[in-house]
Amino acid sequence: MVGPGTGIAPFRAFLQHRAKHGHTGRNWLFFGDQHAATDFLYGDEFAAAQKAGTLHKLSTAFSRDQAEKIYVQHRMEQDGAELWRWLEKGAYFYVCGDAKRMAKDVHQALLTIAAKHGGKTPEQAEEYISVTLSKTEKRYLKDVY
């Protein structure tokens, strides 16, 4: 799940639903915003969800907390080998938030991961991410605005 800023809202509801119904499958949340101290929306809830086992993994990116800007797509690429293994094992990939930049950058990160960790050519990576994962298997879903 990738939900920077207020794009986190549907994922928060997803985790609440999982907790209510006792769902235990693995999930991974990439969350980003500008500053951890002021913009980590629902950070306490996510920590509690991790402790309870409702949220398996949390990767954060706070773009203005250091000199070099770090975004969710950078965290995806840093954990690209593991993310690729999740996708290969049938993981669903959800993105919610900004369509103009973030969603495009996340898509590009997926292409990079497919090429680097999946051994795909750029054309094969595009086919896998944009067609197989997105349209055929319907495991890459976007709610972007």
Q: Is the pLDDT of residue 126 over 90?
A: yes
How far is residue 143's CA from residue 10's CA, in Å, rounded to a whole number? 9
pTM of the model: 0.95
Answer whether 11's CB lies under 8 Å from 49's CB: no
Query: What does the block give as tokens for 90?
Result: 């049938």
Q: List pLDDT tens digits, range 18-53.
A: 999 999 899 999 999 999 999 999 999 999 999 999
Structural domains of the chain, ranges and CATH numbers in brackets: 5-144 (3.40.50.80)
Question: Can you name the residues that pair with 28 across neighbouring β-strands?
Answer: 57
Helical residues (DSSP H) of the chain, grouped into ranges = 9-21, 36-39, 43-52, 72-78, 80-88, 102-118, 122-126
Using alpha carbons, list the distances in angstroms from residue 8 to 2, 60, 67.
8, 12, 25
